[in-house]
Amino acid sequence: SACSNARAFGVRAAMPMGRARALCPDAVIVKPDGRKYAKAGKQVRGLMEQTTPAVEPVSIDEAFLDLSGTQRAHNATPAQTLARLAARIADQVGITVSVGLSYNKSLAKIASDFNKPKGFVVIGRDDAQDFLNPKPVRIIWGVGPAQERRLHAAGLRTVGDIAARSPEDMRELFGGMGTKLAHLARGEDNRQVNTARHQAKSASSSTTFGSDHADFETLKSLLWGQCETLARRLKRADLGGRSITLILKSSNFKVQTRSKTIPDPTQLAEVIFQAVLPKLLEAADGTKFRLIGVRVSDMVP
């Protein structure tokens, strides 16, 4: 099979916003617009699903596509099909994507992370080991900083170092994760593209303030804005929920939540707001807050 990992270009925060402000107090901060992200993500997802019905979403800007059996339908190779998809996304959505094409999900993921923001990398079966061997262990999908340190401590710094060890040796060193790493280092990954759609268990909206607030009326106004935002998301997803939770973070970063269960599921801003407003009144005892949000769970269509 041929899998691809198409990823919309974006910027990810490298540190908490509070620390960034402290280090660079004169920085001009542009707030993200979640609605634009969601709209673009939905457009990209639609174009993916026009290319193949086998699409596995990973996040708002990332997905796997299984292109097995599509060559006749598109009269094109998988690489040509993905090149056309990238061009359509650029033309219709106005963003670039990075594409990784390979014979399994792990390698497709690795390939998609190269040459951003407009990369197109193909890893063939015959070339996979030569491609992987000199790369640092961190390139393997699922290896984070802690696992990287453990591998380094064992003298394993490149993917080739891991591939040279037997799965049994790796299991002795790292348990079940070691066996998994041994296979991934050899370009072996039998996971299929999973097209099953999972209904969201909850939805939320929150905002962090530029300065801390303790005044009830100010917090009330900010809460209403988050209820409106959350209601729009629920309506777009055709979902409602019965459990409604107020989320507050104080100036010392302590998070508190207060929940209320209502008789009937809702997606209406006013119902959400009225459910948690008494909770806000209880919490507004002079404590200064830096974040307010609301979450709806116990979801139903």
How far is residue 137's CA from residue 165's CA, in Å, rounded to a whole number?
Answer: 13
CB 101 within 8 A of CB 8: no
Distance of CA 138 to the CA centre of its chain: 19
CA dist 47 and 226 (Å) reads: 30
The per-residue DSSP string of 73-108 comes to HHTS-HHHHHHHHHHHHHHHT---EEEEEESSHHHH
Within 10 Å of residue 152's Cβ, how many Cβ atoms? 14
297, 241 in Cβ contact below 8 A?
yes
Q: Which residues make beta-bridge pairs with 213?
A: 289
Q: How many CB atoms lie within 10 A of CB 234?
A: 23
Tell me the C-alpha distance between 78 and 86, whole Å: 12
**Residue numbers annotated as active site:** 62
